[in-house]
Amino acid sequence: MPGVPNHWHVYFAVDDADATAAKAAAAGGQVIAEPADIPSVGRFAVLSDPQGAIFSVLKPAPQQ
């Protein structure tokens, strides 16, 4: 994407994106994007740790 510096972004598979986002915030992290559904993919959130490293969590949708 033009204007976006090179970077990497990791997704961690979790059992519950909402609970993981709440735990991250309680531990001093930040919720960058609130948990949301991606149709046919799952539920995700974008978080950061207390030092500012950004990552995502994903509860995959059931396979059909």
At 18 the three-state DSSP class reads helix
Question: Mean of the pLDDT values across residues 32-53?
Answer: 97
CATH entry 3.10.180.10 includes domain 11-60: yes
Average pLDDT over residues 28-50: 97
Contact (Cβ atoms closer than 8 angstroms) between residue 55 and residue 12: yes
Under a CB-based contact definition with an 8 Å cutoff, are residues 54 and 12 in contact?
no
- Does 7 have pLDDT greater than 90? no
pLDDT above 70 for 1: no
CB atoms within 10 A of CB 58: 17
Percent of the chain with pLDDT over 90: 84
Domain ranges (residues) in the chain: 11-60
Q: Mean pLDDT in the chain?
A: 94
